[in-house]
């Protein structure tokens, strides 16, 4: 009887354990994505500041600023796409777990 209760409890807890696992993986991916974006942005910002400090010509300063802004926008867009992809993938995994859990309970 004890073994049967243990099996039932394990069976009932599996979807919850799977959800926790998905959340942990998603958090790790998001942290890595944001850390990478932040590191890149800070390093490029420092390089941009150095480049601006050495310039005297206004046209050249504006061109450097324009290029930097465009690159920053592209990197931010890529980071947002990565975050959305992680969220979409995790959402699909959660939906599958919920669906399978309902099927198991209906039996």
Q: For the chain, which residues make up each domain, given as ranges?
A: 64-90
Mean pLDDT (the chain, rounded): 89
Residue 107: predicted pLDDT: 65
Q: How confident is the model at residue 103 (pLDDT cuts 50, 70, 90)?
A: confident
Contact 4, 28 (CB under 8 A): no
């Amino acid at each position: 009887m004890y073994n049967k209760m243990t099996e039932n409890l394990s069976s009932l807890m599996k979807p919850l354990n799977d959800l926790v696992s998905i959340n942990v993986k998603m958090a790790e991916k998001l942290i890595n994505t944001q850390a990478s974006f932040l590191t890149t942005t800070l390093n490029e910002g420092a390089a941009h500041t150095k480049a601006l400090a050495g310039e005297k010509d206004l046209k050249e300063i504006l061109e450097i600023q324009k290029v930097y802004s465009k690159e920053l926008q592209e990197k931010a867009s890529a980071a947002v796409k990565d975050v959305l992809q992680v969220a979409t993938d995790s959402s699909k995994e959660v939906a599958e777990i919920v669906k399978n859990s309902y099927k198991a309970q209906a039996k």
